[in-house]
Structure 1
Amino acid sequence: MTGTQITVEVDFDVEGKQMGYLRVPHSAHRSAYGWLPVPITVIRNGAGPTLVISAGVHGDEYEGQIAVATIARQLDARDIRGRLILLPMVNAPAAEAGCRVSPLDDSNLNRTYPGDPKGTPTQMIAHYHEAVVLPLADYAVDLHSGGSSLIYPATLLRGPAHSPEEEAGLATLTEAFDLPYAWVFTEGGGRKSTARTAMGAANRKGVVNVMAELGGAGCVATDVLRQTERGLRRILHALGMLPDYLPDAARGTRALNVEGSVYAHDAGLFEPLKAIGEDVAEGEVVALIHHPETPGQAPDEVTSPFTGLVLAKRAMAQARRGDALYQIASDAG
């Protein structure tokens, strides 16, 4: 028994297509006996693997939410072999508010796993995702973006394999998603993972899983959205779950290791001098922090402590000390 207080309007074991909600109990001033709706679609047809695709773990990350909702709307049971579980807005309260964290408990879902079945709304959702949904899965894909503050190109994230079988599964997901970049972790993962993320939750349950960073800046990048929708269908096909889909030719993925982030050390207005994908050398000036509130003050120069390329860039002009301006990566060795 999981001890969850969340109930669900779909049956994970029934053949066909079902759409409904996870009901997260929430007693509030306006609704003493109310519940929060977390949308879920389950499509099942015969034998085959189970794939869980989630998005909206952070509420201000939109490409994944749209892509998962589109897949849920367009696919029917006759299209699928196996079972597909779709969660387009895992953190529904945050998604409805367009915020990274939930407005109900100010919690970041992707720092909350494994959660608490009797905790706050965010803790209950994290627990249900890890304790109820992910144990059903053979594979999982969790879709993110840079949110309001960052911008990423379409980038897959994958951890190290802990067995030949896991490596084969990770390679299948990575090659099928076929995004321009892959951020490859060199440590962590596995069933002993202590990460408080959805990826950590999947690892603890023995699920072969990847994550993706897809755009950001609090808006929807059409090209990134199309790459996401294409990649999800290619994954379904590669797993034998979408047999009638005809994938186009692979475009190739550049594997990267992240070196670290470049931070602002003073408050002001951020002027980027480097674009995503551009090369950066250690010690190179990559940004200026302007101080228009102080007449005559020259901007501060921000230098990179790393050599590599820009993988992510801050979306907001206003910056404070400690804000990440860039994320720098280098080719995986």
Structure 2
Amino acid sequence: MEATQKPAASNPIKCDIDLDADGKHIGYLRLPHSVHRSAYGWIPIPVASIKRGDGPVVIISAGTHGDEYEGQIIVSRLIREIDAEMVSGQLILLPMANAPAAEAGLRTSPLDDGNLNRLYPGDPLGTPTQIIAHYIEHHLLSRAQYMIDLHSGGTSLVYDGANMMGLEPRTPEEEKHVTDLLKAFGLPKAFLYAPNSVNVTAAARRQNAICFLTELGGGGNVDASLVKQGRQGLLHLLGFLKVLGGGLVPASAPSQARLMTIDRATHYVYAMDHGVYEPLVELGAKVRKGQSAALIHFPSNPKQEPVTVCFEGDGEVICRRAIAMVSRGDCIFQLASERRPLV
């Protein structure tokens, strides 16, 4: 007797707006969540759909990490500014993709410690963050051609200005397309990196969509100039994709992007001791392999000399830790190197 295959579990999230309807609709993704104070409750995840006729479907999200604020401001503003008559296709906007984390101002969800950008493809029977990841990949990305997920460095990291990231292209045709999109977004630095199967860029690839991330500042603060650059670049990209028209589309991108690459093996610097770190280089510095990166000091044992941490490769400092206290395994610096001129 042949074994019967169980049907795939359905995602419990319900969207209270019609994603197939033309017009501008604002509501919530309702994630059931039964707790002591609310036995039959649900978690509200804000969502908006702005749709008119045929054209690309683009997801714009922020709040994947709840302590990254520039993107939440940008997406919320776009929901207010964009009307259906400006759109050819559809924009799906999520200003607080991991709503519990964003409500708490934390990188990960206080409900399950879930890092939304490390849990794809998710699980409809899993924890709240796994359920959100599953919904985004299988119910939103499955209908989209593009996704822009707006990040910054959060509480623990600060990035050097406005940056964007995308996966390494697989074919010359895809490389040309991705390069054109990076140029249209036009943030000062554009990084290409190897796939990571558990983040949203890989989720998009599995659904035959292209996803870009931004990194806009960080340190738990909001930099108004980076909000402005991120918004300008995003609107210019939406105009380039012909999903958005009208007066909101700027005449140009914020800048001419430099295409860079990140090497996971040599471009990260980690603390190997518990203490207080003193950076020896600034953001934007060009460094060499073996150069001193930081000193780790030990105030609890003042007789102990500080430990020097060195760079393991050549590159440019694009990110540094914002919190002085470190433990073994904490990232202190991230580098990138020139890839080649944009075509």
TM range (shorter): over 0.9
Distance in 2 between residues matched to 1:130 and 1:184, nearest whole Å: 21
Please state whether the residue corresponding to 1:206 is helix, strand or coil.
Answer: coil
Q: 1:220 aligns with which of 219, 222, 229?
A: 222
Counterpart residue number, 1:71: 78
Whole-angstrom CA distance in 2 between matches of 1:219 and 1:21: 27
**Retained in 2: the 8 A contact 1:166–1:208?**
no
Residue in 1 that maps onto 2:209: 207
Structure 1 contact 236–242 (Cα < 8 Å) conserved: yes
Q: CA deviation at 1:163?
A: 4.2
Which of these residues, 83, 99, 102, is aligned with residue 106 of structure 2? 99
1:115-165 Cα offsets, whole Å, 9 max, x none, are 111221111111110110001101111111111111113211111223455
CA displacement 1:28-82 (0-9 Å, x = unmatched): 0000000000000100112211111111111111111111111111111112121
Structure 2: how far apart are the matches of 1:249 and 1:152? 20
2:50 to 43, 50, 71: 43
8 A Cα contact 2:191 2:260, kept in partner: yes
**Amino acid corresponding to residue 247 of structure 1 in structure 2:** A
Task: Name the CA shift for 1:16/1:2 in 2 (closer, same or farther; >3 Å).
Answer: farther
The answer to whether the 8 A contact 1:45-1:77 is kept is yes
Cα distance in 2 between the residues matched to 1:164 and 1:209: 18
Q: Give the residue type in structure 1 aligned to 2:114.
A: S
Question: 153-162 or 290-299, which moves further after superposition?
Answer: 290-299
SS of 2:262's partner is strand
Give a deviation string over 1:83-118, Cα, whole Å, max 9, x none: 000011110001101111111111111111111112
Distance 2:292 2:91 in 1: 47
CA contact (8 A) 2:233 2:253 kept: no
Corresponding residue for residue 144 of structure 2: 137
Q: When the two structures are superposed, what TM-score results if normalisation uses the length of structure 2?
A: 0.91
Residue range with higher mean Cα deviation, 237-246 or 61-70: 237-246
Contact 1:172/1:238, CA 8 A, preserved across alignment = no
Alignment correspondent of 2:5: none
Which blocks of at least 5 consecutive residues in structure 1 are unaligned? 189-193
Deviations 1:293-317 (A, max 9, x none): 2234332222112111101100001
Deviates most, 159-168 or 54-63: 159-168
Query: C-alpha separation between the residues in 2 aligned to 1:228 and 1:308?
Result: 24
Aligned pair partner of 2:11 in 4, 8, 13:
4
Aligned to 1:257: 261
CA contact (8 A) 1:170 1:209 kept: no
Counterpart position of 1:235: 237
- 1:200 Cα deviation (Å)? 1.2
Per the alignment, in what secondary structure is the counterpart of residue 114 of structure 1? coil
SS at match of 1:225: helix
C-alpha RMSD over aligned residues: 1.6
Contact 2:167–2:192 (Cα < 8 Å) also in 1: yes
Q: Deviations over 1:151-196 (max 9, x none)?
A: 11321111122345533432232111101111112x43xxxxx711
Q: Give, in whole Å, the separation in 2 of the partners of 1:17 and 1:249.
A: 26
Tell me which residue corresponds to 2:285: 278
Shift of 1:248: 2.6
Deviates more, 1:261-270 or 1:19-28: 261-270
Are residues 124 and 250 of structure 1, via their aligned partners in 2, closer, same or farther at CA, if it must alter by over 3 Å? closer
Aligned mates of 1:37, 1:135 — CA distance in 2: 22
The percentage of aligned residue pairs carrying the same residue is: 47
TM-score by length of 1: 0.94
In the aligned structure 2, how far is the partner of 1:37 from the partner of 1:21?
Answer: 5
Post-superposition offset of 1:2: 6.8
- For 2:3, the equivalent position in structure 1 comes to none
1:36–1:236 Cα change, 3 Å:
same
Give the residue type in structure 2 aligned to 1:173: L
In structure 2, what is the equivalent of residue 110 of structure 1?
A: 117
Of residues 161, 164, 180, the one that matches 1:172 is: 180
Q: Which amino acid aligns with 1:113?
A: Y
Task: Report what 2:35 is aligned to.
Answer: 28
User: C-alpha distance in 1, partners of 2:9/2:55?
Assistant: 25
Question: What letter matches 1:318 in structure 2?
Answer: M
Return the offset for 1:207.
Answer: 0.2
Aligned length: 327
Q: Tell me by how many angstroms 1:235 deviates.
A: 0.9
SS at 2:290's partner residue? coil
The answer to whether the 8 Å contact 1:59/1:89 transfers is yes
Q: Determine if contact 2:50/2:83 at 8 Å carries over to the other structure.
A: yes
